[in-house]
Amino acid sequence: MKALILYFSGTGNTKYVANLFSQALSAKGVSVQTRSIEEPQPIEPGYDFLVVGCPKYYEYPAMFLLQYLRKALPAAQQQTPTLAFCTQASAVKTDFTGLAKILQQKNHELQVTQFFTIANDLMFFGGFAPTPAQEAQTNREKAAQAVPGLVETFLAGQRQTEKIAPFLRPVYHAVAAGCTATMPLFAMKYAASDACIGCGLCAKSCPKSNIQMVEKRPEFGKNCIFCTRCINLCPAHAILYGGKQYPQYVCRG
Ligand SMILES: Cc1cc2nc3c(=O)[nH]c(=O)nc-3n(C[C@H](O)[C@H](O)[C@H](O)COP(=O)(O)O)c2cc1C
Ligand code: SF4
Ligand code: SF4
């Protein structure tokens, strides 16, 4: 049996959990291919199980992943059992119904859903405090304990999906759609300080090719999905938001 794990991870939390799924599926004798949606190759059909993962952005699975699946996931010849997960800062349940619809159109059946509280990587929005390092570590350990059980449930063909109050679904969706659409405006607040050493790592790492190096300084375009990768990975801690420096989040998974 073959499984494909597709994920988007801005700062490493989702990649960490995707690797946990890879290990747990392999331990059950499943042949696993794990890949980020940033890899350009088309998806090869022929897998028996699909696992998809992404961060939660604005109370919803990252729309970047949803857009990718709409465009790049081929319709399966046979209905394919699928597991979806989100990583997030909070312990608020995640609504996977929009994702389930896209998958259904591609003959994939969302059988198991799960959110994992890991840590906050969005350090520059006031109401959203950084997760203490010890708490983040405990959350990663909890995820490592939970994943093998989820894989057992999934491979056994059982259903385990999180239930969201129906009246909340359109609210979550509207918030996420609105915030995703206005992101490019917020992202214009990124700028590099004089501490920049011109290494170009931010530009090379941006999943949307939204950063151009001009005279050894990054310039930010209008295509940002606000994944926070650039600001968190800069080795010189030189990317400012709204003119201010914030602590960096590093996933130590
Ligand atoms: C733009 C943005 C919006 C976010 N919105 C939420 C949210 O609504 N709820 C939440 O719990 N975490 C939220 N987070 C935190 C991320 O979901 C969390 O840090 C996630 O694990 C990051 O995954 P990654 O490291 O794979 O990119 C947000 C982070 C970003 C960058
Ligand atoms: S990663 Fe940091 S130091 Fe390197 S070019 Fe970007 S802003 Fe400058
Ligand atoms: S410019 Fe935007 S999309 Fe690119 S790495 Fe930075 S936050 Fe992510």
- Would you say residue 31 has pLDDT above 80? yes
Q: What is the DSSP string of 147-184?
A: HHHHHHHHHTT--B-----TTHHHHHHHHHHHHHHHHH
Kindly state the average pLDDT of the residues 220-244.
Answer: 94
* DSSP 8-class letter at 111: E
- Would you say residue 40 has pLDDT above 90? yes
- Token pair 């350990």: residue: 141
What single letter denotes the amino acid at residue 222? K
Rounded Cα distance, 32 and 28, in Å: 10
pLDDT value, residue 123: 86
Q: Is the minimum distance from the CB of 226 to ligand 1 under 6 angstroms?
A: yes
Number of neighbours of residue 212 by Cβ within 10 angstroms = 12
Kindly state the average pLDDT of the residues 177-194.
Answer: 87
Q: Do the bridges between strand 80-88 and strand 49-57 make them parallel or antiparallel, or are there none, so unpaired?
A: parallel
Using CB distances shorter than 6 Å, the residues near ligand 2 are 192, 196-202, 218, 234-236, 238-239
Kindly state the average pLDDT of the residues 12-38.
Answer: 98
Ligand number, closest to the Cα atom of 200: 2
Look at 9 and 123; give whichever has higher pLDDT.
Answer: 9
pLDDT value, residue 60: 96
Distance 60 CA to ligand 1 centre (A): 9
Predicted structure pTM score: 0.97
- Would you say residue 252 has pLDDT above 80? no
pLDDT value, residue 25: 98
pLDDT value, residue 241: 92
pLDDT value, residue 129: 85
- The structure tokens listed for 95 are 């609504």
Distance 1 CA to ligand 1 centre (A): 32
Rounded Cα distance, 181 and 191, in Å: 21
pLDDT value, residue 36: 98
Look at 25 and 186; give whichever has higher pLDDT.
Answer: 25
Q: Which atom of ligand 2 is nearest to the CA of 233?
A: 1
Q: Which atom of ligand 1 is nearest to the CA of 119?
A: 19
Rounded Cα distance, 69 and 99, in Å: 9
Per-residue pLDDT band for 150 (boundaries 50, 70, 90) equals very high
3-state secondary structure of 228: coil
97-105 and 63-72 helices, crossing angle to 10°: 10
pLDDT value, residue 13: 97
What single letter denotes the amino acid at residue 162? E
Per-residue pLDDT band for 157 (boundaries 50, 70, 90) equals very high
- Would you say residue 184 has pLDDT above 80? no
Structural domains of the chain in order of their starting residue, each with its CATH number: 2-169 (3.40.50.360)
Kindly state the average pLDDT of the residues 179-195.
Answer: 87
Distance 248 CA to ligand 2 centre (A): 14
CB 221 within 8 A of CB 189: no
Closest CA to 69 of 86, 52, 47, 82: 52
- Would you say residue 187 has pLDDT above 80? no
Q: What percent of the chain has pLDDT over 90?
A: 89
pLDDT value, residue 162: 85
Kindly state the average pLDDT of the residues 191-203.
Answer: 97
* φ, ψ (nearest 5 deg) of residue 42: -65, 155
Q: Compute the mean pLDDT over every residue in the chain, rounded to the nearest whole number.
A: 95
Q: What is the DSSP string of 34-63?
A: EEETTS-SPPP---SEEEEEEEEETTEE-H
Ligand 1 probe mutation, 16, 34, 37, 56, most atoms within 8 A of CB: 56
pLDDT value, residue 148: 98
